[in-house]
Structure 1
Amino acid sequence: MSTPIPRRRRLAALALAFGFAAAALSPAAEPSPSPAQADNPIVQTIYTADPAPLVHNGRVYLYTGHDEDGSTWFTMKEWRVWSSDDMVNWTDHGSPLNIDTFAWARQDAWAGQAVERGGKFYWYVPVVNDATGRMAIGVAVADSPTGPFRDAIGHPLVENGEIDPTVFIDTDGQAYLYWGNPNLWYVKLNADMTSYSGGVNQIPLTTQGFGTRPGGTSRPTLYEEGPWVYKRNSLYYMVFAAQCCSEFIAYSTAPGPTGPWTYRGTVMPTQGSSFTNHPGVIDFKGSSYFFYHNGALPGGGGFTRSVAVERFAYNADGTIPLINMTSTGAPQVGTLNPFVRQEAETIAWANGVETERASEGGMNVGWIENGDWIKVKGAAFSTGARSFTARVASATSGGRIELRLDGPNGALVGTCTVPGTGGWQTWTSVSCAVSGASGTHDLYLKFTGGSGYLFNANWWQFTA
């Protein structure tokens, strides 16, 4: 942290409260009692919502919204990015896009999606147009999946008062942008990804295409919002938030990108202590993954949501199976190499800490107090580690980093002492000997010391 300000939010004692999700999940999806196995939600340092995963160069980049602490509405001012190469250890890249990026926007950093084309990354997001007071779709562009993003055109790409854009590039190169609540719309994007041709087109919401909503409301179909469109083999899928409220996730399929759509059923039932949900579907390293959000973290609910993920397999006929929320999450793909520099904000589970921008670039972990810890899953120590180095800063008297295996109170293999450095962004490197770390283990960096905030951590690395 830059200054010793009070913690914005304290997710206290999660190590002792991993039963938090029991009330939030369905009986069939109750969490494991073992802390080491609870990896959903995948971000614990802030509240996140509306997941939009993107696979690029062997990593999954996860674009999310950010629910403000203590929200009683969809109070959202920025979007965030995380990435992972193993589906369990997620690196926090901060916020490369916010409302102020769009000079014409007023509020509501709601659900969007990013896509790569021609070496650039285009992020489509809904915001309120300050001039009209209506929701509009903006587009931001960056040279990197983690930004920084800038307004690509200086005005809305399209505006009709509706929300939740999803973007899809077909195998023939034609790109489509879909969005809508209460209706469903699409445009054909031009190759520049910042303009479109052929006008704004409305997709007919028929009960054959999108199911029948019970209760005889003014909306005859189940379609509510949050569409996610993709192609698998020769079939087009539209996964969407259904009914309201509470929402569940349903899907339809079509032989082409604009229909005709046929309703296929439920993907994820209503679960998870949030009356909204939002899908994101990808294939990564040979498996399929379904992203969603719930209210499973302490203080969570319909306006303080958290993104989670499940691995799934399509049925033989291409249909999507029923997917339940769990606190276990997706299994790890491969292992983490502790002998290369790892960012401190690469986290499988965090207890008590938060993140912020670091003066040396990237993010750092801060607001560290006695007893807080970070779990990194599946660190492959092979035949053993000799020493550990961490980049740290402290405006107080520092503290200690205990290196523990397989639990916050697991085997102690090393302890590094962190001194006061004279400032929260005054960085130094500390090292300590390591003994007894071999094989593959979940690594816990447990922070100990006196009262108050102890130090910040930027990165760490073991030597073999």
Structure 2
Amino acid sequence: MLAFALVPAVVQPSAARADNPIVQHVYTADPAPLVHDGRVYLYTGHDEDGSTYFTMKDWRVWSSADMVNWTDHGSPLSLATFSWASADAWAGQAVQRGGRFYWYVPVKNRATGRMAIGVAVADSPTGPFRDALGRPLVENGEIDPSVFIDDNGQAYLYWGNPNLWYVKLNADMTSYSGSPTRIPLTTAGFGTRTGDPNRPTLYEEGPWVYKRNGLYYLVFAAKCCSEFIAYSTAPGPTGPWTYRGTVMPTQGSSFTNHPGIIDFKGNSYFFYHNGALPGGGGYTRSVAVERFSYNADGTIPTITMTNTGAPQVGTLNPYVRQEAETIAWGSGIETEPAAEGGMNVGWIENGDHLKVKGVAFGSGASSFAARVASGSSGGTVELRLGSPNGTVVGRCGVPGTGGWQTWTTVNCPVSGATGTQDLYLRFTGGSGYLLNINWWQFTAGTALTAPR
């Protein structure tokens, strides 16, 4: 996994300011955001560390209520979910319908050796997901499914590289009517590519389809390689499409890119991936996000990658239990499934830290509690404000508990945590792994004892 304490200045000039890429402890790719019940759920692929190809075995889920602090929900879907799949857990998308969540993904069919589209279903946006069919939904050797449900309830599945296809899904979201239809790739619809007689248009892969103010948008990865993001619009879900131009130019040290666009809490957001993390590149990618505003005529402005990311929407409440794997920026840490449920942060060594952005302490906190475990002699959780070396407002000692999943709750007094601050949990101690942390929570009030 990614264990780094300092990010090179050429990538991230200040860990205190940087919020892109939005996940730092694993490589992520091919973002597919979904808004549900006041949160953004982000479905991603997972590039293996040190990969030299698209060697991808599972998918990951993350969520956020504020666009900066992202909760790691682990991997509720993998190649092993599909008994008929052999490899290539590539770019998918999840949608919600009728209280259930359907995740469409491309995988290689073991029986045919071709890429096919499978569909998994769950009762929760974070899973667990199961194979809905026990076989491919569609199979023609092409990839990158995108699903759109129109206002009249008709759902469409789009996919394709090198072609672009759609089929009308039935209301059950696991079967379809008619046959897959190939969308004509005309230069009027998808722009003009030069230098490749086999691919006259800019369309490459990764379609993302949605509707806004009566206009249908098809955003896609364009002109490999390196790709940029472009888009087309149409008066209906199946066209005719008109090419509208560039959304994000080629940039970001990854020769692929992949779009995802949503509206959330009154703002519009564009998700993409790049190679901005240490060790990052075309096969070790990371998902990032930018806030944007449509032009008055409905066109999408040109969006540039940044390392600052989207502004926070609201604040984080420290006086309710917060999962330790809810992170704006992490250094040196990893996550894993916790024996008590959910995920925990682990593999913590001296000097590692977590950043939680925009924590609303209000008039002040008096104490801090954390659910911790240690298979070693433990360590200390330092509570700092503003930076990993900022003001200390509390220190919690963590004892050895006899096992990395043997959990106990520790408490310590807090003084000086007021207003809205970026909170850093900095971990200190001896050599080797120190502790695991599952969740934390502050108690409001005036501290009587200041930390030393």
Confirm whether residue 55 of structure 1 aligns to residue 35 of structure 2: yes
| One of 57, 67, 71 as aligned partner of 1:77 | 57
Counterpart residue number, 2:292: 312
Q: Give the alignment's Cα RMSD to 1 decimal.
A: 0.7
1:19 to 9, 16, 31: 9
Q: Secondary structure at the match of 1:337?
A: coil
1:456 aligns with 2:436: yes
Equivalent position of 1:4 in the other structure: none
Q: Which residue number in structure 1 is paired with residue 377 of structure 2?
A: 397
Aligned partners of 2:439, 2:10: CA distance in 1, in Å? 30
Amino acid at match of 1:322: T
Match of 1:236 in 2: 216
Give the aligned partner of residue 111 of structure 1.
91
What is the one-letter code of the residue matched to 2:137?
L
2:368 is matched with: 388
For 1:35, what is the secondary structure of its paired residue?
A: coil
Query: Equivalents in 1 of 2:310, 2:342: separation in Å?
Result: 26
Among 184, 192, 197, the alignment partner of 1:204 is 184
Q: Secondary structure at the match of 2:16?
A: helix
- Alpha-carbon deviation of 1:20? 3.9
Distance in 1 (CA, whole Å) between partners of 2:386 and 2:274 is 27
Counterpart AA for 1:11:
A
- What is residue 43 of structure 1 aligned with on the other side? 23
Shift of 1:392: 0.3
Contact 1:20–1:298 (Cα < 8 Å) also in 2 = no
1-structure distance, mates of 2:165, 2:392: 57
- Give the corresponding residue for 1:187: 167
Q: CA deviation at 1:322?
A: 0.2
- Distance, in Å, in 2 between the alignment partners of 1:233 and 1:220 is 30
Is 2:277 the partner of 1:285? Answer: no
Match of 1:270 in 2: 250
Give per-residue Cα distances to partners, 1:328-373, cap 9 Å, x unaligned: 0000000000000000000000000000000000000000000000
Pair 1:123-2:100 in alignment: no
1:209 is paired with a residue whose SS is: helix
Offset from partner CA, 1:403-461 (integer Å, 9 cap, x none)? 00010000000000000000000000000000000000000000000000001000000
Amino acid at match of 1:185: W
**Aligned to 1:158, what secondary structure does the other structure show?**
coil
Give the Cα–Cα distance (whole angstroms) in 1 for the partners of residues 149 and 391 of structure 2. Answer: 49
Secondary structure, in 3 states, of the residue corresponding to 2:370? strand
- Is the contact made by 2:70 and 2:326 (CA closer than 8 Å) also made in structure 1? yes
Which secondary structure does the structure 2 equivalent of 1:36 belong to? coil
Which of 131, 140, 143 does residue 120 from structure 2 map onto? 140
Deviation at 1:10, TM superposition (A): 3.6
In structure 1, distance between residues paired with 2:343 and 2:321: 14
Which residue in the other structure is 1:429 paired with?
Answer: 409
* Residue identity opposite 2:199 in structure 1: R
What SS does the aligned partner of 1:208 have?
helix
- Superposed CA deviations along residues 276-300 of structure 1, whole A, max 9, x for unmatched, are 0000000000000000000000000
Give 1:310's aligned amino acid: E
Shift of 1:218: 1.0
Residue number among 270, 274, 278 corresponding to 1:298 in the alignment: 278
Per-residue CA deviations over 1:52-108 (Å, capped at 9, x if unaligned) read 000000000000000000000000000000000000000000000000000000010
State the TM-score, normalizing by the size of structure 1.
Answer: 0.95
Deviation at 1:182, TM superposition (A): 0.1
CA apart distance, 1:217: 3.0
Q: State how far apart, in whole Å, the 2-side matches of 1:10 and 1:41 are.
A: 13
1: distance between equivalents of 2:58 and 2:285?
15
How much has 1:37 moved relative to structure 2? 1.1
CA distance in 2, matches of 1:20, 1:193: 45
Q: Matches of 2:17 and 2:44 in 1, distance apart?
A: 24
Q: Which runs of 4+ in 1 moved over 6 A?
A: none
Where structure 1 has 5 or more consecutive residues not aligned to the other structure, the ranges are 1-8, 22-30
How far did residue 111 of structure 1 move?
A: 0.1
Report the Cα offset of residue 18 of structure 1.
Answer: 5.0
Please list every run of 5 or more consecutive structure 2 residues that lacks an aligned counterpart in the other structure. Answer: 445-452
Secondary structure at 2:9's aligned position in 1? helix
Between the aligned partners of 2:9 and 2:273, the Cα distance in structure 1 is 18
* Cα shift at 1:34: 3.2
8 Å contact from structure 1 (residues 20, 296) kept in 2: no
Alpha-carbon separation, structure 1, partners of 2:422 and 2:171: 45
The answer (yes or no) to whether the contact 2:20–2:288 under 8 Å persists in 1 is yes
Note the 1:353-368 alignment, pairs <5 A: 353-368=333-348
> What is the TM-score normalised by the length of structure 2?
0.98
Task: Give the conservation status (yes or no) of the 8 Å contact 2:2–2:26.
Answer: no
